[in-house]
Structures are given as structure tokens and as C-alpha cells.
Amino acid sequence: MCIPLTWHSALAQAITGESFDFPATTTADLEALVATLATCGWDETRIREGARVAVQSEQVWPYPLPADAVSHIGAAAFSAALMQLRMLLGCWVLDVKPPIRGAEIGEAELRLLEDVPPHYGS
């Protein structure tokens, strides 16, 4: 059984992979967390680079936490706060790729594109 993590400790561990012992809060103050992480050596650039390295080396990022460590927070609330934190840090999307152009559509794809349900258009 894990010791429950505070909001900020859980979010910080999910994005850095390191354990932090931040004081308990009733909600996540993301701007304050980003500032606190920067004083701990985890500025936005280091977090983004760490995320890219983790993804490129095929690790899961954000780093998974034990379910019982954040069960008191709630999965939906934690996921929402984590997504907002990622957007705030600029690591919502880690690898921006250009759209694929000039790809040829084969016969199988054409059949799928032309396939419509019986009631379509009636």
C-alpha cells in the first residue's frame, strides 16, 4: 500500500519521474507548482526535454503512478489537472509531424471510402 501523494507531489512525479514531498493542498495550483518545480531544478525546458527523451526511448510519459497513491484525488480530477499542466508546460504534443501528402489511395481504401450504409442519402 502506497502513501497517498498530495496534489502537487503526484503531478510533479508524473511529469518528472522523481518523488517530491510538497505540502498538501485542496486543489492543484498549477502556476505555483511550475514555479516550485523550477526552484527544484525542473524548469519548463528540462521537463519538455525529459518528456521527449522518455517518449523517444519508448517509455511511458507522463510517468505512471500507483493507483492507491492518487485514489483520494480521483482519476478524472487528476487526469484533468495533468493535462492542464502539460498544456501549461508546452508539452501537450511532444512530436509535431507534418501532414502526409501525396499518399496514394489503394483499391481497398477506395472501396471503404465508397461504402455507405443502406439508409445513406435517402
How confident is the model at residue 116, as a pLDDT?
A: 80
The residue ranking higher by pLDDT, 101 or 72, is 72
80 and 30 in contact (C-beta within 8 Å)? no
- Residue 112 included in any domain: no
pLDDT digits 0-9 by tens, 10-48: 999 999 999 999 998 888 999 999 999 999 999 999 999
Tell me the C-alpha distance between 118 and 81, whole Å. 44
Assess whether pLDDT exceeds 70 at residue 122: no
List the domain range (segments joined by +) for residue 58: 7-89
How confident is the model at residue 2, as a pLDDT?
A: 61
pLDDT digits 0-9 by tens, 45-99: 999 999 999 988 989 999 999 888 888 888 899 999 999 999 999 887 776 667 7
Domain count, the chain: 1
- Residue 120 included in any domain: no
- Residue 105 included in any domain: no
The DSSP 8-state label assigned to residue 21 in this structure reads -
Assess whether pLDDT exceeds 90 at residue 118: no
Amino acid at 54: A
- CA 10, 64, 61: angle at the middle one, nearest 5? 105
- Cell numbers at 100, concatenated: 502526409
The label of the residue with cell 505512471 reads 64
